[in-house]
């Protein structure tokens, strides 16, 4: 069993995977003699936008652990968003794996790597979900473009009908004569091109038209 001080020592100089954090939590609920400490590892939130209401949520969780140590148990803080959805947060308490249950830097690293992988997988799966929705939307738009024009309808009007976005607004638009659809990647805080999910019409397997 480690005391708080030796746990601090375990963490000192430890390099964790990007987006993962570790901290020694102290149990302040017991008497000082019984005070326990435990290392907790957690990650950034897997998304920067609430999956239910689309409002931006705190993505960088580096500043504070999402759990506290009370009566010897790790208790997560409430992650309920204003819309009612419980926002995802990945964390795990680190336990010593040797005979004396003393926590080593390797124990911390092992948990951190697992959580880091879970974070990547969660981000990827959300990105994949968005990607398939974009493919579907663009496919429908292209089908609509290929349908015969109505009486008095012009090609320009039809194109305007399917356009839902622009270079700066997410959605469908015509770029250099090709239709594309794009959205922000909810897993990353916006900014660089890597944070966008984009589908070009040339990527889609389309039914051939007469
Ligand atoms: Zn929400």
| Ligand 1: centre distance to CA 49 (Å) | 8
CA of 43 to the centre of ligand 1 (A): 20
pLDDT of residue 210: 45
Q: How far apart are CA 100 and CA 98, in angstroms?
A: 6
- Could you report the per-residue pLDDT of 120-162, keeping only the tens digit for each? 998 888 889 889 999 999 999 999 999 999 999 999 999 999 9
* Average pLDDT along the chain: 88
CA dist 98 and 132 (Å) reads 45
Distance 184 CA to ligand 1 centre (A): 17
Token duo for residue 46: 């897997």
Quote the ligand 1 centre to 183 CA distance (angstroms).
18
Say what the pLDDT of residue 208 is: 46
- Indicate whether 199 pLDDT > 90: yes
Distance 50 CA to ligand 1 centre (A): 5
**Ligand 1 center–CA 65 separation, angstroms:** 21
Q: Confidence band (pLDDT; 50, 70, 90) for 72?
A: confident
Angle value at C-alpha 167, between 165 and 207, nearest 5 degrees: 60
User: How far apart are the CA of 86 and the centre of ligand 1, in A?
Assistant: 8
Q: Is the pLDDT of residue 194 over 90?
A: no
Structure tokens at 107: 């124990």
Mean pLDDT of 48-77: 90
Among 96, 98, 79, which Cα is nearest to 87's? Answer: 79
Q: Which of 125, 89, 95, 118 is nearest to 107 (CA)?
A: 95
pLDDT of 189: 58
Distance 60 CA to ligand 1 centre (A): 17
**Tens digit of each residue's pLDDT (9 = 90 or more) over 5-56:** 788 899 998 999 999 999 999 988 876 666 689 999 999 998 888 888 988 8
Residues in the 5 Å CB sphere of ion ligand 1: 50, 52-53, 81, 83, 85
Report the separation in Å between the CA atom of 130 and the middle of ligand 1, taken as the mean of its atom positions. 17
- Quick one: pLDDT at residue 4? 62
Rounded distance from Cα 111 to ligand 1 centre (Å): 29
Report CA(168)–ligand 1 centroid distance (Å).
24
Question: Encoding tokens for residue 168?
Answer: 């700066």
């Amino acid at each position: 069993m480690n005391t708080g001080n030796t746990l601090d020592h375990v963490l000192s100089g430890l390099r964790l995977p990007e987006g993962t954090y570790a901290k020694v939590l102290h149990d302040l609920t017991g008497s000082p003699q019984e005070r326990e400490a435990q290392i907790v590892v957690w990650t950034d939130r897997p998304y920067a936008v609430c999956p239910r209401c689309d409002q931006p949520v705190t993505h960088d969780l580096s500043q504070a652990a999402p759990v506290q140590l009370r009566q010897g148990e790790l208790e997560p803080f409430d992650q309920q968003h204003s819309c009612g959805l419980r926002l995802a947060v990945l964390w795990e308490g680190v336990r010593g794996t040797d005979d004396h249950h003393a926590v080593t830097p390797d124990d911390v690293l092992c948990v951190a790597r697992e959580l880091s992988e879970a974070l990547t997988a969660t981000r990827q799966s959300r990105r994949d979900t968005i990607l398939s929705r974009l493919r579907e939307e663009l496919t429908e738009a292209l089908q609509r473009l290929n349908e015969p024009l109505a009486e008095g309808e012009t090609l320009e009007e039809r194109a305007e009908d399917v356009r839902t976005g622009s270079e700066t607004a997410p959605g469908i638009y015509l770029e250099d004569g090709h239709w594309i659809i794009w959205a922000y990647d909810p897993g990353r805080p916006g900014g660089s091109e890597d944070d966008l999910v984009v589908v070009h019409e040339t990527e889609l397997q389309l039914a051939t038209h007469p």
